Amino acid sequence: MRPNRKLLENSGYVLAHVARQLPPWWHFRLYHHVHKHLLGDPYWCEDAPRPDRWTRVKPHGYEMKLTPSDWMERYTIHTGEFWSGEIYAVMEDMLDAGSCFVDVGANVGFVTLCAARIVGSGGHVFSFEPNVKLVKRLHHMLDHNGITNVTLYPYAAGSQSGEIGFTNGLHHGSNHVVADVADAPAVVPLRRVDDVLEGHLPDGNVLIKLDVEGAEMMALSGMPNLIGRPNTTFIVEMCDEWLRQNGGSAEGIFRMMSNAGYRAFLPHFPALSSKLRMRPVDSLPARPKTYDVLFQRR
């Protein structure tokens, strides 16, 4: 056990709620920096999970069964909201009732549930998540909330069909595919998203969110039909260091999408505003950490 863990957790509750009273730019940044410098590392996870608890989560309003043992879920239990406000704002701006959304890297379903609420009974959400434990939890949450407009695929997204290794770290949000199947903690099915979704997508607008911890370029290589499809927009998590560990790069993704006729934007909240802005990006941003990029057809 960490010393003063209960104090650390209770202080995190208070800090997270204070951050939520400020404009969106501050929510997670304030929590991150103040927590790390004054309280200690906020990203601790426990070996033995504590009992899950049902928490009603904004903005989608559904109940999610979350564990305080994982830092990301603990933050949501603290605040009643998932930390990625930019992603939610993009979805609310680009999705309507009847729209189609594809969630590649669904995790426990924060984004999937938000999309399910927005697109409604006339739309549909297709979600990909290879972690067997998370797939089981997400199915449970879909059933608990009576959600019927989500199809969940227990696959990792790649450039070919087969199997691939997968990590099994304490924080499930950072687990990722690994090429060495023999030494991997787990082996999961690998599929091309194009193959899985062939014949299932409507003719209208489709928004695709891609967050697979460095395997984004590998996943995009299995989506040539989706990339070439009209009325398709991508929002992709980028981290050049993680991408290079899987044979890709941020520059490679920018070049791939630019050659396919897409323009890049950085979705962001100004420090003193609650209105999402889209900053056009004409060259690779000099960002060492993770960031989200919206790719929209010119």
d(CA 264, CA 282): 7
At 1 the pLDDT is 41
47: left (phi over 0), alpha (psi -120 to 50) or beta: alpha
Q: For residue 25, is pLDDT > 90?
A: no
Q: How far apart are CA 14 and CA 34, in angstroms?
A: 12
Ordered by where they begin, the domains of the chain are 1-82 (no CATH), 84-297 (3.40.50.150)
The tens digit of pLDDT for each residue in 53-83 reads 999 998 899 999 999 899 899 888 888 888 7
Written as six digits, the tokens of 127 are 């979600």
User: pLDDT at position 140, please?
Assistant: 96
> Per-residue pLDDT tens for 215-258?
999 999 999 999 999 999 999 999 999 999 989 999 999 999 99
Convert the pLDDT of each residue in 274-286 to its tens digit: 899 999 988 777 7
Q: Which token pair is 290?
A: 């993770």
Given a cut of 60, whether residue 2 has pLDDT beyond it is no
Q: Band the pLDDT of 3: cuts 50, 70, 90.
A: very low
Confidence of residue 4 (pLDDT cuts 50, 70, 90): low
Residue type at position 276? L
pLDDT at 289 over 90: no
**Distance (Å, rounded) from C-alpha 291 to C-alpha 253?**
13
Query: Which residue type does 161 have?
Result: S
The 3-class SS string of 63-89 reads EEEECCCCHHHHHHHHHCECCCHHHHH
- Based on its alpha-carbon atoms, the radius of gyration of the chain, rounded to whole angstroms, reads 19
Question: Which pLDDT score is estimated for 227?
Answer: 97
Exposed/middle/buried for residue 120 (C-beta within 10 Å: 0-12, 13-18, 19+): middle
How sure is the predictor about 15, in pLDDT bands with cuts at 50, 70 and 90? confident
Q: Model confidence at 17, in pLDDT bands (50, 70, 90)?
A: confident
Each residue of 78-100: pLDDT tens digit? Answer: 888 887 789 999 999 999 999 99
Which pLDDT value is given to residue 288?
65
C-alpha atoms less than 13 angstroms from C-alpha of 72 in its C-beta half-sphere:
13
Pairing of strands 262-268, 277-281: antiparallel
Distance, in Å, from the CA atom of 166 to the CA atom of 169, rounded to the nearest integer, reads 10
Give the pLDDT of residue 60: 93
pLDDT 10s digits, 106-151: 999 999 999 999 999 999 999 999 999 999 999 999 999 999 999 9
Distance CA 291, CA 112 (A): 19
